[in-house]
Amino acid sequence: MSVGSAILVTGGAGYIGSHVVLALLDAGLPVVVLDDLSTGSTAAIPQGVPLVRGSTGDVALVRAALRRYRVEAVVHLAASLVVPDSMRDPTRYWRNNVANTLALAEACVAEGVSRLVFSSTAAVYGIPDRLPVDETAPCRPINPYGASKLAAEQLLQDTAAAHGLAVVALRYFNVAGADPAGRAGQRTLGATHLIKVACEAALGQRQVVAVYGEDYDTPDGTGVRDYIHVTDLARAHVEALRHLAMGGAGAVLNCGYGHGHSVRAVLRAVEQAAGVVLPVLAASRRPGDPPAIVAAAGRIRALLAWRPAFDDLDRIVADALAWERRMLAATGGMQRTLSA
Tell me the CA end-to-end span of the chain in Å, nearest whole number. 45
Residue 257 bears catalytic tag: no
What is the C-alpha separation between 83 and 96, in angstroms, rounded? Answer: 14
What is the C-alpha separation between 43 and 217, in angstroms, rounded? Answer: 42
Question: Hey, what amino acid is at 154?
Answer: Q
What is the C-alpha separation between 101 and 97, in angstroms, rounded? Answer: 6
Q: Check: CB of residue 289 under 8 Å from CB of residue 263.
A: no
What is the C-alpha separation between 253 and 74, in angstroms, rounded? Answer: 17
- Burial label for 257, CB within 10 Å (0-12, 13-18, 19+), is buried
List the one residue out of 78, 256, 104 whose CA is nearest residue 171: 256
Q: Check: CB of residue 183 under 8 Å from CB of residue 316.
A: no
Q: Check: CB of residue 116 under 8 Å from CB of residue 102.
A: no
Among residues 145, 172, 212, 257, the one annotated as catalytic is: 145
Helix 313-330 with 194-202: angle, nearest 10 deg: 50
Task: Return the active site residues.
Answer: 145
